[in-house]
Amino acid sequence: MDPLSATSSIIAILQLSSKVVGYLAVVKDASKERIQCAIEISNLQTLLLNLKFHVEMENVNTPWHTAVRALTIENGPLDQFQQCLETLQSGMTDRGRLKKATDILMWKFKKAEVTSILGRIERLKTLVEIALQRDQMKLSHAIKSDTEIIKNEAVIINSNSQKITEVTTNIKDDTGVIRSGIDSVKIRGENVEHHEILEWLSASNYPAQQSDIMKRRHDGTGKWFLVAPQVDKWLSEPHTTLFCPGIPGAGKTMIAAITVDYLLKSVQSNSIGVAYVYCNYKAKGEQDTSHMLAAILKQLVQAQTQLFGPVASLHTQHQKKGTKPSVDELFNTLKDALKYYSTIYIVVDALDEFQDNYSTRHQFLARLKDLQAHLDIRLMFTSRPIPEIVELFRDDVKLEVQASKEDVERYLSGQLYRLPRCIQNNVSLQVIIQETIVEAVGGMFLLARLFVDSLLDKRTISKVKSTLKAMSGAFQAPDRAYDQAYNEAIDRIKGQLSEDTALAMSVLAWIINAKRPLTIVELCHAVAIEPKQEKLDPQNIPDINDLVSVCAGLVSVDEESEIVRLVHYTTQEYLERTQDLWNPGARLSVASTCLTYLSFSTFRNILDICDIHSLESSGYPFDEHPFVNYAAIYWGQHLLPFQAELREQACLFLRDEALTRHARGVDSMVRYKHCHMNEKMNCLHIMARWGMHVLLQDFMPGEGFTPTRSIDSRDDFSETPLSYAAASGHENVVKILLDNGADTTSDSLMRAFISAARIGHESIVSLLLDRGVNIGHCGRTMSIALEEASYNGHERVVRILLRRGANINNDHGDALSVAIEEGHENIVKLLVDPCIDLNTTKVAHCRTALQLASEWGHDHIVRFLLGKGADVHCDSVEGTALHLAAYKGHESVIKTLLDWGADINAHSIYGEYTALHFAIRGGHESVVKMLLDLGADVNAHCVFGGAAITCATEHHHDNMREMLLDAGADINILGGRRGSLLNTLAYRGNTRVLCTMIERYHADPKLVDFHGRSTLLMAACAVDSDAFHYLLDLGLSPDAMDAKGDGILSYAALGDSEEVFESVLEYFKGPKPSGFWSPLHWACRSGNTYAVERLLEQGYRDELVTLPDSEETWNALSIAIYHGQKVVKEPIEEVGKARGWNVAAAYKRFIIHIINAGIASE
């Protein structure tokens, strides 16, 4: 076997094994050994496929991945298994080839040969199972011993194979078996596709983090939390939010993980979903609303594969464009997915670490709360007790997190083995240590860990007691206690050997200053890079265990995700705050190292050997250069503060087009999973995007300026350096480019101007306008910019644009609408011009401002608009403000509108719905109760929904129906699409409730609606026959007809149930009188194929009928053609000829009708 990658080797084996299993299924004169071979190979296929998925997700430089690659060595386990498969294939065919389809496969293997093959298959199964256990040491030993055994058997197998291949056999083509093999491969392909799409949706791996956290849990920790009454309330009551604040180091993340573990093991099911996210101070770039919603969606889809469809559709929409879904798209997809669950638990840990931007955090919470309002979602959050966050959960269930005395004692008992001999040999001293630390930490778990670490180098009892004395009262001043503990750790680092100290400083510099968490292999490579190197020395790469050991307990490694972290975010805060004192120059060193790495000649050679576009399909060698996917993305952020200090090194890199091109290509592949080079992008674009104003000066005219670096050069997207700088908010760069004559009239600059307004770069917006930038089509551009600024809540930008003449009524923007929708009250106040008539100006979808604010539930804006003269009674096609608030379930807005005089029983223009109807349609039980308590008419009638009780039944709201009955609803009131409550229940086949309404509430089953439809007639349309038989047993006549003269058979023909149709057919007395539509016409109208066939058997023919709105006569077939119904399985022409139908006349009548109706011309 060629030395292919592990993944490629496994794929090749899977393809060959599928082919061999296909042959084994059809071989002639085969013994039971043949069946056993097929079974064992199929079992091994499943294990190999599982291994393939793990290999694909694993970092290539991990010890586990290295051990797995040993499976693929020459004459190794996979190589030998391939030889087994080739032996089987050759023995059954002519050297694996098919001569012709009529040839027959023959089984000519001896029992001993089969035994040897089965033995090798079993050994490979064992090795793969060990690999899946992720025990690299055990796997390495097993492969070594197994290879020797396999080599000895290889000679025998090859000898037998040579004899077998001398026999020429024929192959019989069994398409069924081959198709089965193809289907199996197809299913596996679909699994791979699903995995790839879910990774596209979200690259997060919170399950791995969950596993890492739980590995650190001591048995019994956190039980107090799970049995707390607040948690029981959260677990049992719908729509509940549990807020768990806790001081730094209290163990909030562990409590979150324990909760998630309990939910996954004891609560999760097909109908109950569980999702969770762990916010991290080092991953803020990956923690915005879209990332979080995508991560939650990914977990729920992984648990329920039937939810994959919407995600696949989302992927299809964005894949070709190379884009990612918006927040709204993710929210709507998630909302659709959640409907498959009856209950969903979502746990969010460390909300205080979710971005610094308050509005972003608020947006994420608002989306979750919006979902919770409509679905049974139970939310749990942990956070530091920051006042602005605590205020968000003022009305929710609260449970403070703190390390219990028992939990701390369990932890300390498990750490004693790490302490010096003077402690391990002194039981009384151990008791003193435990008692002192438990009292000192005051519920701060992290402090207990740091205190234990502080004892690691105390080798005498005297020093131990001295250290314990300093711990006393630490919980009373936790910030000072943490600082002292971390300071002592830094002192311990400085007291090591000089090489160890230098290594620790390098490790901490990278972990502290990295823009995202680093993996083990990334960190090991980063610290191995030496200044001015041209390539990496592999012998200079350290072992991760050495890196951790020299950092005095401040660094830990997550085994599952292989992420290297500081032990806590308070560690990050302290080290960031003090690193210039104990590690000066650390940030500068990190920036220089990134440039050094990206300047390696190796990367220029990669482009020389192979174009980067082909690297995308063949696979970039990330396993050889694991640090490149970090350096290529974040080098600019690290360089930005040190442009002057690293000017020479940075300019050399930026002027090297090959190296910058390589970095851009890797950036594209890592970020977007595909490579778009943006070939025309040059160093000016790069510096403008990053805001490198110091370096940019060296590239201006007179400083090495060349025509290929024109100040107005356009990239592949027609963007200029000035448009990049403006959109990114880099004011200094914009000034430099404008001062050097940059073009200010391009379309790209107009887009950048709008982007600056969208993001809130007020200084850029002002600068461009002050410099006289020609905002082409001023009205259009200004209005769009105003809308973008209003949507995102940038009040200062809105003021600037309004002051410069932006028109809120321009057709190209709708600033007031979006400001209202997003709830930006201050901006709404700016945009509501005194000259605007709030009652005639339509802001969105023909709504007034008041209607829009009511729909979105922004009570403060509703009050402002009412105070400005908005008419509470103003109606539109969607209803009044009260109707929209009721439909969306905004109780506070409803109360405000009623206080301002809204009519609680007013009917909408379209459909004549009342607020009560809207609340029922929206599914808001609490709003229905509130409206009834405030005097809403329980028997108010609307055109489409009928009375409220009928409307509740139509929308399957059983609790609301009972509530309305208790409030005095008339059970026999007529109206609505089905005519009455009983008609609706009968039509839906809800026999249980139908019985209850008749027997308990005395509803009249003989009642007919305005169209003469009885409950029995509607039951004939139902999906099952129970309601129909129940009503017949009550004595209702099967001969009943509606006002048109149609009977139960016509209604059954309109339905879609064979069972009901046959039941009705038993009671029907004869054909319909001439001149009316027959059941056959109705069956053709609805497309009920079964009814058509049965009615033809009963003697119904293609009689002519007159349409109500025309004097033309139509037959049943022309009705079916007109309505697009395929009422027979065979072609209509053939059926028509056999049945005596005049098909030509049917088509003619159809054509004449559409010509007369103006739908088509002759």
> 1077: pLDDT confidence band, cut at 50, 70 and 90?
confident
Query: Span 373-402, mean pLDDT?
Result: 90
User: According to the model, what pLDDT value does residue 526 have?
Assistant: 97
Q: What angle do CA 474, 478, 481 make, to 5 degrees?
A: 60
The answer on pLDDT for 712 being more than 80 is yes
The answer on pLDDT for 90 being more than 50 is yes
User: According to the model, what pLDDT value does residue 321 have?
Assistant: 67
Q: Which sign, positive or negative, has the C-alpha torsion 626, 632, 637, 640?
A: positive
Q: Distance (Å, rounded) from C-alpha 789 to C-alpha 632?
A: 32
Query: Span 614-621, mean pLDDT?
Result: 60
Higher pLDDT, residue 501 or 1077: 501
User: According to the model, what pLDDT value does residue 92 have?
Assistant: 67
Name, in order, each residue with C-beta under 8 angstroms of 468's C-beta and a sequence gap of 6 or more: 432, 433, 436, 437
Listing DSSP states for 900-955 in one string gives TT--TTPPPTTTT--HHHHHHHHT-HHHHHHHHHTT--TT-EETTTEEHHHHHHHT
Q: Distance (Å, rounded) from C-alpha 39 to C-alpha 822?
A: 60
**Among 446, 382, 455, residue whose Cα is nearest residue 408:** 446
The two tokens of residue 855 are: 């729909």
Q: Distance (Å, rounded) from C-alpha 724 to C-alpha 708?
A: 18
User: According to the model, what pLDDT value does residue 170 have?
Assistant: 38
Q: Distance (Å, rounded) from C-alpha 853 to C-alpha 281?
A: 36
The answer on pLDDT for 1103 being more than 70 is no
Higher pLDDT, residue 894 or 337: 894
What does the pLDDT look like over 582-617, one tens digit per residue?
A: 999 999 999 999 999 999 988 887 755 555 555 554
Query: Span 430-436, mean pLDDT?
Result: 90
Query: Span 1078-1091, mean pLDDT?
Result: 81
Query: How far is the CA of 53 from the CAs of 6, 50, 194, 308, 617, in angstroms?
Result: 11, 5, 12, 18, 19
Query: Span 120-146, mean pLDDT?
Result: 67
b/e code 710-734 from CB counts within 10 Å (16+ = b)? ebbbbbeeebbbbbbbbbbbbbebb
Listing DSSP states for 62-110 in one string gives SHHHHHHHGGGSTTSHHHHHHHHHHHHHHHHTBTTB---TB---B----
Residue with tokens 């677990």: 235
What does the pLDDT look like over 655-697, one tens digit per residue?
A: 998 899 889 888 887 776 666 667 888 999 999 999 999 999 9
696 in Cβ contact with 735 (< 8 Å): no
Amino acid letter, residue 751: R
When the pLDDT of each residue in the chain is averaged and rounded to a whole number, the result is: 80
Query: How far is the CA of 37 from the CAs of 110, 118, 304, in angstroms?
Result: 13, 7, 34
Give the distance, in angstroms, between the CA of residue 399 and the centroid of all CA atoms in the same chain. Answer: 29
Helices 405-413 & 427-441, crossing angle to 10 degrees? Answer: 140
User: According to the model, what pLDDT value does residue 850 have?
Assistant: 94
User: According to the model, what pLDDT value does residue 838 have?
Assistant: 84
Higher pLDDT, residue 298 or 339: 298
Q: Distance (Å, rounded) from C-alpha 382 to C-alpha 118?
A: 54
User: 167 in the Ramachandran plot: left (φ > 0), alpha (ψ -120 to 50) or beta?
Assistant: beta
What does the pLDDT look like over 765-816, one tens digit per residue?
A: 999 888 876 664 456 788 889 999 999 999 999 999 998 888 776 655 588 9
User: According to the model, what pLDDT value does residue 519 have?
Assistant: 94
**Among 1123, 1093, 1088, residue whose Cα is nearest residue 1107:** 1123
Higher pLDDT, residue 12 or 863: 863
User: According to the model, what pLDDT value does residue 178 have?
Assistant: 37
User: According to the model, what pLDDT value does residue 3 have?
Assistant: 35
The two tokens of residue 373 are: 């309002």
**Among 20, 1126, 888, 741, residue whose Cα is nearest residue 373:** 888
Q: Distance (Å, rounded) from C-alpha 630 to C-alpha 515?
A: 9
Q: Distance (Å, rounded) from C-alpha 732 to C-alpha 693?
A: 6
The answer on pLDDT for 186 being more than 70 is no
Query: Span 492-512, mean pLDDT?
Result: 94
The two tokens of residue 217 are: 């849990």
Query: Any alpha helices (H) in 514-646, and if so which ranges?
Result: 520-528, 544-549, 569-582, 586-598, 601-609, 612-618, 628-639
The two tokens of residue 342 are: 């009856």
Query: Span 915-919, mean pLDDT?
Result: 94
Amino acid letter, residue 760: G
Q: Distance (Å, rounded) from C-alpha 418 to C-alpha 424?
A: 9
Query: Considering the chain, what percentage of its residues have pLDDT values greater than 70?
Result: 78
> 230: pLDDT confidence band, cut at 50, 70 and 90?
very high
1014 in Cβ contact with 1006 (< 8 Å): yes
User: According to the model, what pLDDT value does residue 21 have?
Assistant: 72
**Among 959, 917, 910, 912, residue whose Cα is nearest residue 936:** 917
Query: Span 13-37, mean pLDDT?
Result: 69
Higher pLDDT, residue 841 or 818: 818
Q: Highest mean pLDDT range out of 13-22, 28-37, 186-195, 1126-1135?
A: 13-22
Q: Distance (Å, rounded) from C-alpha 482 to C-alpha 492?
A: 15
What does the pLDDT look like over 719-746, one tens digit per residue?
A: 889 989 988 999 999 999 988 888 877 7
User: According to the model, what pLDDT value does residue 808 have?
Assistant: 76
* CB-facing half-sphere around the CA of 154: CA atoms within 13 A: 17
The answer on pLDDT for 480 being more than 90 is no
User: According to the model, what pLDDT value does residue 524 have?
Assistant: 96
The answer on pLDDT for 926 being more than 50 is yes
> 72: pLDDT confidence band, cut at 50, 70 and 90?
confident
> 104: pLDDT confidence band, cut at 50, 70 and 90?
very low
User: According to the model, what pLDDT value does residue 676 have?
Assistant: 66
What does the pLDDT look like over 336-371, one tens digit per residue?
A: 888 888 899 999 999 988 865 556 788 889 899 988
Amino acid letter, residue 336: D
> 1145: pLDDT confidence band, cut at 50, 70 and 90?
low
